[in-house]
Structure formats: structure tokens, C-alpha cells
Copies of this chain bind each other. A is one copy, B any other.
């Protein structure tokens, strides 16, 4: 069979493709000469599968969509505090070409406006941008020299910004060189598949889902997504967040990306822009995807099933006791409820078996709560035993780790769990240990 995904994505393009309103960016001939009817959509999942439909072969200059990625590189290289000292994180409520500098310090309000992006570029430099963007996209990106020199010829506003930034001590390098570099950054050629992969890297905690390379640390991805959520869509941030609810960034050449944390990266290309400078059909595609796929960050998912699938007496012959068959994700919400149930109706028998066979995920806070429950049951005189055939209890080293650390084979089961000796003991606190059965 053929996977229906491309059909689904193509259908979305067809629905949104009829709108021919909006205008091409006109400040350089290269953008004004774009074919206004081009429309493409790319999607890249966090496990590295990419789809691209429509005019997906068209390459275009990345423009402002480069901003979040350069910001990510700066954060990764210099750390949060050093970057915050130069660029803030507050929405400006202004168009992208406003100065938007803090009154006294001259610090740009956020990295998604030009002043912030120029500052960020000065922090990392074009070499790092080239290398970093290649890591994000999973391939080398070329600079469109015509776009670059055309933009450089009309970059007076950016030069003004760069000199103002050096005046405030925010930028220290030669403003002309910084602007030249920033213009090159904006002229890197991408297609929707590239952008979807780049967005997916942010959605995937900084790990490029195809190459598996950790391009930036997990905390960097979180910071960048947060700033995209509040500052990514210029002066329409509130409107975007209420209607679409996906961290996003648009560019003047008609690109628009979105990142769904833990799920996928999305990219649309359609050159006609609305009055905010965002792609008209790009916005429509995102609205459609958000509604259809339930991707709004504030969309409340249907309540998960109870963590406890079944509470049953031990099978005959296993002695007096009770089995709690858990399912789904062992997280804060589920554990809170389970612990409450244990408190409300204490197990009547001496043996308590916690069966994790149907559990598919153990969050860090959930594991801690589970072990604390086991400790308290032990203190109450119960003998606690885990059934954990898939080794879910073996914790990730810490809450920030992602694939590649502790789960090199990507099967969702911590490394080593598969080959661990049967029936080990796990320490639940106060020197108390519980047995872990590796078979059901």
C-alpha cells in the first residue's frame, strides 16, 4: 500500500490554494520576481520521516525564518545568560522592521525582530550559521548570491540598526560586516523539506530527527520554541496564538514554519504576504492543520484512560496479594490519581504487585512518585513487587535527556533494559527495595 499522508497534505494544499490575495515582497527584484502561485507543504516527524507536497522542489531564501535557528546556535554556544544580556525575550507588538530597543540599554526586545536577529548573528558569525544550519537541515545550504547582494544593496535600515546596536555596546563587531553576514544568513536557500526538518529538530528537543545529531541541547530547543510562541508572528502574535496555537516563524519570501513539541516540524511556502508580512496561504494552511490535527497547544486532549487498568487479586498459587495493572503513561497526573486510590483504599493483602507490562512511557516525575508509593506501601507492611518486562522502571539519567542518551536504539526502552538480568531489585528509599520481575 501507499501511505495516505501525502494525499492528506495535498488535500490541505488544495483547500487553501485558491486564495490569491496578498502581495509579493517588492523591496528587491529577486523577491518581486517570485512566482506568486507557488505553494508547497513539508512535514517532518520527530522520528525523521519527511513529506513534501506541492511545489516542494522550489528553493527560496530563508529570510527571517533563519532567526530562531541562529538564536538556537547562540544559546548553545554562549549559554542563556550571555545571550539574554544582549537580546530580550519580550514581544514587541511591533512590525519586524521597528527598532524595538529597550530604552536605556539599547537591548533588542527579542531575537525575532531584525535588531535582535542582527545581534544574534554578530554573536555567532556566518561560519557558525552555515555549519549549524546544515546540521539543522541535514544538508549543506547554499547562499543565493543574487538575493544576498541585492538585499545588501538595500540594507540601509539594517545598517542603521547595526550602528545603533554598536552605539549601545550590544554589537561590538564592524556593523557593515555584521549586516553583510546577516544578509548572507537570510539568503540561504531552502525548500519546504529543509524547513520542516529544521523545525522538527526544535520539536524534537534539539536532535535532528533524520541524522540523529544533537544540534542544540534540549533546553535550547525549549527556549527557542517559547520565544517563537510569543514573538514569532510579529505584531499578530496574540491572534496567531489564539487561532493556531503553534510556535511559528514566517519569512518575507513566503516561508512559514511551525514546530509541534515532541511531534513534528511543518513548513509552508507561498510567496504572497498579508499586511503583517506573513504568507497568506501559509497562515491558512496552518489554521487548517491546527484544527484538523488538534495541534493547538492549548487544545485539551480527551482525558487519558486511568493509569490503573485493573486491580485484581493475585492469581491462585501466587499467594495472598493484589495486582495493579497499569497502562499508558506513568506521569504526574496518572500517578497522582493512582497514589490517591492507594490512599483511599489500601491494599488488603500483604503482597502488592505493580504490573507495568501495558505501560508505554514512564516520565521522570512519574517514576519518582511510583517509587515513593512503593516505599510507603513497604512502610505500611506490604511486600511490593514490580512486573516490568520492558524495563520501563530503569530511569533515564535525568529529565532533560532525549534519544541518543540512554536510548540509542530508539525503541523507547532505555538501553540495557532489554538485556538486564531478570528480577533485579530497585531501591525505593529508606533502604527499602522492591523486586522487579522481568516477565509478566
Choose among B1, B229, B346, B377 the residue that contacts A342 (Cβ–Cβ < 8 A): B1
Determine whether the beta carbon of A5 is less than 8 Å from that of B361.
no
Task: List residues of chain B with CB within 8 A of the CB of A35.
Answer: none
Determine whether the beta carbon of B299 is less than 8 Å from that of A261.
yes
Task: List residues of chain B with CB within 8 A of the CB of A85.
Answer: none
Interface centre among A242, A298, A329 (most CB of B within 10 A): A298
Count chain A residues whose beta carbon lies closer than 8 angstroms to a beta carbon of B.
104
Within 8 Å of chain B (Cβ to Cβ): is A386?
A: no
Determine whether the beta carbon of B298 is less than 8 Å from that of A247.
yes
Within 8 Å of chain B (Cβ to Cβ): is A22?
A: no
Determine whether the beta carbon of A90 is less than 8 Å from that of B300.
no
Task: List residues of chain B with CB within 8 A of the CB of A380.
Answer: 1
Task: List residues of chain B with CB within 8 A of the CB of A164.
Answer: 156-157, 160
Contact with B along A336-373 (1 / 0, CB 8 A): 11011011001000000000001011011100010011
Choose among B360, B361, B373 the residue that contacts A358 (Cβ–Cβ < 8 A): B360
Determine whether the beta carbon of B242 is less than 8 Å from that of A361.
no
Determine whether the beta carbon of B373 is less than 8 Å from that of A235.
no
CA distance A229 to B273 in the complex (A): 27
Quick one: given A299-B261, A300-B262, A380-B1, are A229 and B247 in contact (CB under 8 Å)? no
Interface centre among A242, A292, A339, A412 (most CB of B within 10 A): A242
A residues 288-346 in Cβ contact with B at 8 Å: 292-306, 327-329, 332-333, 336-337, 339-340, 342-343, 346
Determine whether the beta carbon of B167 is less than 8 Å from that of A163.
no
Question: In whole Å, how far is A434's beta carbon from the nearest beta carbon of chain B?
Answer: 14
CA distance A328 to B362 in the complex (A): 12
